[in-house]
Amino acid sequence: MIYMIKMSSEELLKIDQKFLFKQSRFQTNKTTKKKLVWKGLKQIISSEKALPWPDDAVHYSSINAPPSFKPPEKFSDLSGLPAPYTDPQTRLRFANKDEYATIVDLPMDITAGYLALRGATSIVG
């Protein structure tokens, strides 16, 4: 037991000393600030948006692609073929009667998985 602890502390030292090129000051600083919470991209964007920027400034958030203006085509969830039908029970789209026979026997988790994949989990949609 004691041996193992010794080993690990030696390894710890080794790892710390591995990167000679780093400023020791920066590292010690880091150990004191134990819990660092990094802002996510969304937070960064929203705090950026709140600032009074000049009119000509372009931002990360201002170059998002526009929404699609074309009606989405319907494809079968199972096969990817063009799907003229929707099963009212599971809300899955299907292309032919063979696929429907499969859909009827699909367990709940699979049908839910297909819907989640298409992003159609909302009840109203």
Partner 1 sequence: MELLKFKDTKCIPDVVHPYTSSLKNNSVPIVIDNGSYMARVGWATKAEPLLLYKNLIAKPRKERSKKDTFEIPQTPQLQVGNDIINIEAVRFQLKTQFDRNVVTHFEAQEHLFDYAFYHLGIDTDNSVNHPIVLTEAFLNPNTSRQLMSELLFECYAVPGITYGVDSLFSYHFSQANPQPNALLINLGYQTCHVIPVLNNKTVFENTRRLNIGGWNIVTFLHRILQLKYPAHAAAITLSRAEELLHSICAIAVDYREELKKWIDPVYYESNIKKIQLPYTSVANSSALTLEQQKERKKELARRLTEINARKREERLAEDQEKLRQLLEVQEIIEFGADQEEIERALGDCQAKNVLDLQKNILNLNMKIEKTKQKIIAANSVEEVDEPPVKQSKYSKMVFENENALQSFLENVKRMVDPYATFQRQDILNKKLARKQRKQDIFKRRTAAGQERMRIISQLARKEKGNDDFGLRDEDWDIYKTISKDGGDSDSEAENEKLLEFEEIIRTHEPSEMDEHTNPGETHQLHVGIERYRAPELIFKPYMAGCSEAGLSEVIGYVLSLFTPDEQSKLAKNVVLVGGLANLSGLRQRILVDLISIRPFKSEVNVTVMDNCSLSAWHGAKQFAQTDNFKKYLFTKKHFDEYGPEYFKIHVASNPYYPTPKDSCVEIDV
Pick from 125, 122, 105, 121: nearest CA to 113 = 121
Q: How far is the CB of 120 from partner 1 (least distance, A)?
A: 6
CB of 115 closer than 8 Å to CB of 121? yes
Cα separation, 44 vs 50, whole angstroms: 10
DSSP single-letter state for residue 93: E
Q: How far is the CB of 40 from partner 1 (least distance, A)?
A: 5
Q: Based on the shown chain and the rule CB under 8 A, indicate whether residue 28 belongs to the binding site for partner 1.
A: no
Number of residues that bind partner 1 (CB under 8 A): 62
Residues that bind partner 1 (CB under 8 A): 5, 8-9, 11-12, 15, 18-27, 36-42, 44-45, 47-48, 50-54, 56-60, 62-70, 72-73, 75, 78-82, 89, 110, 113-114, 117-120
